[in-house]
Amino acid sequence: MPPPLLQLRDIGLTFGGTPLLEGAELSVSAGDRICLVGRNGSGKSTLLKIAAGMIEPTSGTRFLQPGATQQYLAQEPDFSGFSSTLDFVAAGLPPGSDPHDARYLLEELGMSGTEDSSRLSGGEARRTALARALVSDPDLLLLDEPTNHLDLPAIEWLEQRLGQLRSALVIISHDRRFLENLSRATVWLDRGKTRRLDQGFASFETWRDDVLEQEERDHHKLARKIANEEHWLRYGVTARRKRNVRRLADLGTLRTDHREHRKAQGDVKLTVTEGTVSGKLVIEAKTISKAWDGVPVVSEFSTRIARGDRVGLVGPNGAGKTTLINLLTGVLAPDSGSVRLGANLEIAGMDQKRQSLDPSWTLREALTGGRGDTVFVGGQAKHVMSYMKDFLFTPLQANTEISRLSGGERGRLQLARALAQPSNLLVLDEPTNDLDLETLDLLQEMIADYPGTVILVSHDRDFLDRTVTSVIVSEGQGVWTEYAGGYTDMLAQRGKGVEAKGAAKQDRARERSEPAPARAAAKKKLSFNDQHALKTLPQKIAKLDAEIARLQGVLADPELYARDAAAFAKASATLAAAEAERAASEDEWLRLELLREEMEQSA
């Protein structure tokens, strides 16, 4: 059996007398797709840097197969010494490579190559660093938060690209959907040690819960007491996740109510008196438009947002999501059209850059404003220690300076401050940036518990599915369309790819041109083709599941790549195609099922 591409054994690392890693291990073979997960501050990025050879561990050994090539994507790449993005990417090309490969990859990622590398935005820096990591087609790719600051089109492009590579992958990411679609094994870093599950991230959380529950039972058997704060901090996340599973079911009811609410809007046409809708209407926008330098950003968009709605905004970077939020909340005036805000509206939120925090503040001061030990949340007084626990902080951290908090901890603190502001409308612009999985669980729970209305911008598909009742999507050229449900529901209604979008536009144009009775008659029942597809798609999906399982078994052979590289590449490509076909089939089935339900309800 050939040796692995990379192997870390019994890795230990100590900072300032405190051990961060104790006996951590990582083994990567050709063709592996590994996600490295763990709580914020557990040492994931440090372990990845040790794997890349950038940090020398205190103890343990690192083995890299002789002749194997690797690339490491850092969270904060260093562009010093390079005048342009093309120069930076071209420096990663192996000797004898075609220089055009660097420009091609940059163009695929929406870059020209002429950008000044010292003046890049977060998204541009991430795209450039990704191009550098991918351009050499290495044997091993080590990726630390590759989706950070990317928009949805770029995330989906990257997901497809990585799925087609021959490279072995080790990925750290907070994007659940990204990890579920790419990983085939999971390494969990917890309290300095690693545990491996030979299944993808989709199976991780259930496995982790079982491990923690067994550990808790073992602790009871040994009569060992766990301090209340430590016990809550570790096992509270699991309890939260289980509650959130129930909340996902509740979202179905919310989305049904939301669809009915949208239908009612067209019938009532806001003819009711203001007194009737008082307290229910939050925002009403009628044919609003906004252009910058003659370029339309929002074009004749209308919506009605009611109390309790959770609305997600989706679109590529630069589409105008922040502009649309500012129009809807009255920060910007539209060039034409009107926006009406509900009575007694109080808005709180977080912008993309996050509100500034004085690094010299302590955690207690940041939450209380330096005044006593009380935080007012929803009009109710709450002790700061209790509020800290809600955001996964321990009482011991109360006097910790903000400068000593990790990035994820700062994200939780900013959320805590935003949610403590009196409000009935919460506006969150890119709230998931730089947050770890536990913080995302927490934010999901906060949104579920929030008694008012939420508008959020996010590129996290799984997070949108778990939180929102409708999605407003940029269609390009200032056109925005609202769809009931989460991100997956939107895909089922909108369709995928250029052809699907074009067909959808033709359908809408045809419906507008047809008389109302003709449209009603056409919608009484599914077409023969749709009925046949609805009946046969489950069998097709089952066959694809079996084929995917077979291919995953083939690729699980650690010797396959060394024995037959062509067979490995063919199996990888076939697997990617089968997974894409399964996803498309599932989306089509969901679209038809929703259509069937709507027809039955309207019959």
**Closest C-alpha to 312, from 142, 152, 132:** 152
Residue 372 pLDDT > 90, yes or no? no
Residue 298 pLDDT > 90, yes or no? yes
**Closest C-alpha to 326, from 351, 300, 309:** 351
Which residues, listed in sequence order, are joined to residue 603 by a DSSP beta bridge? none
Residue 504 pLDDT > 50, yes or no? no
The answer to whether 123 and 129 are in contact (CB under 8 A) is: no
The answer to whether 590 and 489 are in contact (CB under 8 A) is: yes
Residues contacting residue 326 through CB under 8 Å, at least 6 positions apart? 332
Residue 344 pLDDT > 60, yes or no? yes
The answer to whether 254 and 469 are in contact (CB under 8 A) is: yes
CA atoms within 13 Å, Cβ hemisphere of 2? 17
What pairing do the DSSP bridges indicate for beta strands 479-484 and 470-476?
antiparallel
The answer to whether 273 and 433 are in contact (CB under 8 A) is: no
Q: Could you tell me how many residues make up the chain? A: 603
Provide the 8-state DSSP code for 546. Answer: H
The residue extents of the domains of the chain are 362-420, 516-602
Q: What is the mean pLDDT of residues 97-114?
A: 90
Top-confidence residue, 350 or 102: 102
Q: What is the mean pLDDT of residues 249-265?
A: 55
Top-confidence residue, 457 or 318: 457
Q: Give the whole-angstrom CA distance, residue 573 versus residue 205.
A: 28
Q: Give the whole-angstrom CA distance, residue 542 versus residue 548.
A: 10
pLDDT at 143: 96
| HEC assignment per residue over 375-398 | EEECCEEEEHHHHHHHCCCCHHHC
**Closest C-alpha to 109, from 37, 174, 160:** 160
Strand, coil or helix: 181? helix
Least confident of 280-284, 432-436, 551-555: 432-436
Confirm or reject CATH 1.10.287.380 for domain 516-602, answering yes or no.
yes
Task: Please give the helix or strand (H or E) that residue 596 lies within, else none.
Answer: helix 565-602
The pair of three-digit structure tokens given for residue 172, joined into one six-digit string: 């750290």
- In terms of Cβ atoms closer than 10 Å to its own Cβ (0-12, 13-18, 19+), residue 76 is exposed
How confident is residue 518, by pLDDT bands cut at 50, 70 and 90?
very low
The answer to whether 457 and 353 are in contact (CB under 8 A) is: no
How confident is residue 246, by pLDDT bands cut at 50, 70 and 90?
low
Q: Give the whole-angstrom CA distance, residue 458 versus residue 460.
A: 5
pLDDT at 561: 77
Q: Give the whole-angstrom CA distance, residue 305 versus residue 24.
A: 50
Q: What is the mean pLDDT of residues 113-134?
A: 91
Question: pLDDT tens-digit profile of 321-336?
Answer: 989 999 999 999 999 9
Question: pLDDT tens-digit profile of 537-554?
Answer: 888 888 888 898 898 888
pLDDT at 368: 86
Question: pLDDT tens-digit profile of 168-181?
Answer: 999 999 899 999 99
- In terms of Cβ atoms closer than 10 Å to its own Cβ (0-12, 13-18, 19+), residue 314 is buried
How confident is residue 412, by pLDDT bands cut at 50, 70 and 90?
confident
Provide the 8-state DSSP code for 271. Answer: -
Sheet of strand 59-64, all strands in order from the earlier edge strand to the far edge: 18-28, 6-15, 59-64
Residues contacting residue 564 through CB under 8 Å, at least 6 positions apart? none
Please measure the distance between the N-terminal and C-terminal CA atoms of the chain and give it in whole angstroms: 64
C-alpha triplet 10, 14, 16: angle, nearest 5° = 175
Task: Please give the helix or strand (H or E) that residue 545 lies within, else none.
Answer: helix 528-555
Rounded to a whole number, what is the largest CA-CA distance in the chain? 77
pLDDT at 273: 23
Question: pLDDT tens-digit profile of 226-242?
Answer: 455 455 555 555 555 55
Provide the 10 A C-beta neighbour count for residue 561.
23
Top-confidence residue, 477 or 355: 477
Helix axes 437-449, 228-268, angle to 10 degrees: 50
pLDDT at 571: 85
The answer to whether 306 and 280 are in contact (CB under 8 A) is: yes
The answer to whether 32 and 185 are in contact (CB under 8 A) is: yes
The pair of three-digit structure tokens given for residue 355, joined into one six-digit string: 């509100």
Residue 564 pLDDT > 80, yes or no? yes
DSSP string for residues in 467-523? H-SEEEEEEETTEEEEEES-HHHHHHHH-SHHHHHHHHHHHHHHHHHS-HHHHHHHT
pLDDT at 133: 95
Provide the 8-state DSSP code for 284. Answer: E
Question: pLDDT tens-digit profile of 50-73?
Answer: 999 999 999 999 999 999 999 999
Residue 247 pLDDT > 70, yes or no? no
Main-chain phi, psi angles of 148, to 5 degrees: -55, 130
